[in-house]
Chains A and B, each alone.
Chain A
Amino acid sequence: DIQMTQSPSSLSASVGDRVMITCRASQTVSSYLHWYQQKPGKAPTLLIYAATTLHSGVPSRFSASGSGTHFTLTISSLQPEDFATYYCQQSYSGSSFGQGTRLEIK
């Protein structure tokens, strides 16, 4: 199994802040890494696929980088609607998710 570890597990930030969330894989996942946003009571939505590609309709303040075992999701200027939980997911070998990063309003 490939284990995905996100950091931090939770994060407090203010509107307008730049935020970075990290995801590490226990072994290489190449670029088979994807990011999701989930709001309370809702299904997750896809933000980024293939490590760096913005999904259709996702605001450009979201970006991502990385390959191999180390990945980063960046939100350049937090908006009120961005306060949510974020998950990374690998699809290199089967699939697995990180434990999530809860982004809260400071």
Chain B
Amino acid sequence: GAVVSQHPSWVICKSGTSVKIECRSLDFQATTMFWYRQFPKQSLMLMATSNEGSKATYEQGVEKDKFLINHASLTLSTLTVTSAHPEDSSFYICSASPILTEAFFGQGTRLTVV
């Protein structure tokens, strides 16, 4: 199957700093990628849809200025958590689909803000 690679797998940062998470489709082109957030023992919550060459579409309640998304190429989308605070600590997952019948997920990134 297709491969989506997410980096880093985990990151610890100080409060007030920014963190960038990368999501790459390794063997297919993805005009659309999705970013999810998952709290412990909860489901995946869609944060935004990343569109290659255009602005991301954010879900209601997600702060655009806090979670910056850039989809500069057909194989790379980045999520930057700006001015991170402890409440931003979470598990972030990206996904992409070469076909409608399956979505492929990155390994996820565990973000801890101290």
Chain B binds chain A? no
